[in-house]
Amino acid sequence: MAKQDEQTVGKVHTGFCAFVQDLPSNPSSEKLKDLILAFCGVKDLGFDVSTKDYIYGAVEYYKGNVREGDKKTPCALGDS
C-alpha cells in the first residue's frame, strides 16, 4: 500500500511524522515517552496518536530501523 501523503491526512500524520523524523539520527526516549502519554490521553502533542503502531514505529525509528518504522507508521522517513 502506498504511503499516504502527509498533506492529505490532516494534522494526524503531518504532526506525527514531523515529530519523529529526527529520531533515527537523534534518539530521544523523552519523545517516545511523550508519544505514550499522548496515546493515553495524558498529554497533547498537537496531533493524535491513534494507534499503538505509531509508538511501535517510533521505537523502530529510535533504534535506527527506519524501514521497520515506516511499515508501522504512515511516515516515509526512508524516502527522504
Partner 1 sequence: MTLTNSGKDWLARNAGVNNCFASSGVSYKDLEGNSHTGSTTDVAAMLVVASLLGYPYTTKEIVNGKSYEDFVKANGYDLDIEDVKTVCELQEATTPYCAAVATPTTTPTVTPTPTTKCEWFSDHIPMMSADIMDLVRAYLDIIDLGWDVSAADIMGAVAYYLGDKDRGNEFTGCSL
Binding positions for partner 1, rule: CB under 8 A: 27-30, 32-34, 36-37, 39-42, 52, 55-56, 59, 62-63
Q: Which is nearer to partner 1, 3 or 36 (CB)?
A: 36
Q: Which is nearer to partner 1, 19 or 62 (CB)?
A: 62
Helix segments in the chain, DSSP class H: 11-20, 29-39, 52-62, 66-72
Q: Which is nearer to partner 1, 3 or 34 (CB)?
A: 34
**Measured distance CA(58)–CA(6) in Å, rounded:** 16
Report which residue type is found at 75.
Answer: C
